[in-house]
Amino acid sequence: MTSVNLRQQKLEQQRQIMEQKMRLKRQTPGMVQASDVRTSSAKSRTIHRELHGYDGPLQFTMSPGNPDGVTELRSAANDSDEEVGDVCEVKQMDPEELEDEESTPVAPPTPDAHLESTVVPYTDTQNAITNSSNPELEGDVVGSLETFVMEPACQRMHYKCRITRDRKGMDRGLYPTYFLHLERDYGKKVFLLAGRKRKKSTTSNYLISTDPTDLSRGGEAFVGKLRSNLLGTHFTVYDNGRAPGSRSDAKDERTTPRQELAAVIYETNVLGFKGPRKMTVILPGMTQDQQRVQICPQDESETLLECYKTKNMDNLIELHNKTPVWNDDTQSYVLNFHGRVTQASVKNFQIVHDSDVEYVVMQFGRVAEDVFTMDYRYPMCALQAFAIALSSFDSKLACE
């Protein structure tokens, strides 16, 4: 027992040291800082080349007793000001940043700054995503949870979710647990999914479950997983079906073949440019009755990643992250998250189709240290969107 207690004390000390370093870095000119919009014009002209984003207040409030609730972002000085959006700044980052850090290094703006700058949020009410003549409804859980997380979102429905990251515990500093909740009116929430990276795995491998207390592969609530390549640039999302070529096991009740639900490709950063990640998302196509085409590869040549590489895109949907717009006033590239994202981060992104970049299929962004919003629309399902968000958390050696 003495050795076990000593090991726990050492792990707890290491976690505290890591958190202390992260807090100190955020207080230095090299990390994320939040300030009021009134000071943005002066700060944007400093030698640090800060990035600013204008966004509205948080649309989700939690009860005070909720352990994974959204933390208050506004300062006492902001409370006395007019109702203006938050300003987020991103500056230089230490190259030895931890894999879960949410900041990004930024080089001075140049004519080629789109290769070097990150994405920060702002709000533009004149360019809303939804069509006022055909307003969207907020989605809700229909039927059993296991079925809901797998079914594509209903058309003209907008599902607003949030992800909380739990890094408390003996080993959660390295292997955090992520919880996905569907936001409801009056600060209420509905649990949807939980995910955690597997230990002792050659590549990043996240198990996803509808039971926050059972994140095992053999559990009854296991619904899917996310797996990456060695470099962390290619990710594949699977359901809970039986892998091709696997031997039948009496203990394994899975009889349906495993489906590939999505693939995520992050563009490699060979030249070392700093800035937003460029990502491509491949989804199975949809039938005329809004059902997902089943992709059950029997060999490597039939996988979503291989089909993308060979440009065999039959019955597949190719999506990309939305290109940010350069703002001359703030000297930064910005994206309109419509009040849903309040802090700048390299992980903030919006997924769109090239034919209609105003229809945001999915968006993800940071609102607090361990709280993120995640919204999705048709044709995605909750499992696909959550797995894509988990891929953004993972360390990417060839993209940083």
3-state DSSP of the chain: CHHHHHHHHHHHHHHHHHHHHHHHHHCCCCCCEEECHHHHHHHCCCCCCCCCCEECCCCCCCCCCCCCCCCCCCCHHHHCCCCCCEEEECCCCCCCCCCCCCCCCCCCCCCCHHHCCCEEEECCHHHCCCECCECCEECCCCCCHHHHCCCCCCCCEEEEEEEEEECCCCCCCCCCEEEEEEECHHHCEEEEEEEEECCCCCCCEEEEECCCCCCCCCCCCEEEEEEECCCCCEEEEEECCECCCCCCCCCCCCCCECCEEEEEEECCCCCCCCCCCCEEEEEECECCCCCECCCCCCCHHHCHHHHHHCCCCCCEEEEEECCCEEECCCCEEEEECCCCCCECCCCCEEEEECCEEEEEEEEEEEEECCEEEEEECCCCCHHHHHHHHHHHHCCCCCCC
CA pair distance 368, 395, nearest whole angstrom: 19
CA pair distance 237, 228, nearest whole angstrom: 9
What pLDDT score does 276 carry? 65
| CB proximity list for 6: less than 8 A, separation 6 or greater | none
Predicted model pTM: 0.69
Picking from 127, 129, 128, 104, the residue whose alpha carbon sits closest to that of residue 332 is 104
pLDDT at 296 over 80: yes
* Percentage of the residues of the chain whose pLDDT score is greater than 90: 39
Contact 41, 329 (CB under 8 A): yes
What pLDDT score does 347 carry? 84
What does the buried/exposed string (b/e) look like for 217-240 if buried means 16 or more CB atoms within 10 Å of the residue's CB?
A: eeeebbbbbbbbeeebbbbbbbbb
Evaluate the omega torsion of the peptide bond into residue 109 and state whether it is cis, within 30 degrees of 0.
Answer: no
| CB proximity list for 306: less than 8 A, separation 6 or greater | 300
pLDDT at 146 over 90: yes
Confidence at 165, pLDDT banded by 50, 70, 90? very high
Contact 173, 193 (CB under 8 A): no
Picking from 201, 149, 206, 210, the residue whose alpha carbon sits closest to that of residue 177 is 206
What pLDDT score does 182 carry? 96
What pLDDT score does 380 carry? 96
What pLDDT score does 129 carry? 39
CA pair distance 55, 122, nearest whole angstrom: 4
Between 214 and 64, whose confidence is greater?
Answer: 214
Between 245 and 31, whose confidence is greater?
Answer: 245
What pLDDT score does 190 carry? 95
* Percentage of the residues of the chain whose pLDDT score is greater than 70: 65
Residue showing tokens 């005329």: 288
What pLDDT score does 27 carry? 54
Query: What's the mean pLDDT when you consider all of the chain?
Result: 74
CA pair distance 263, 78, nearest whole angstrom: 42
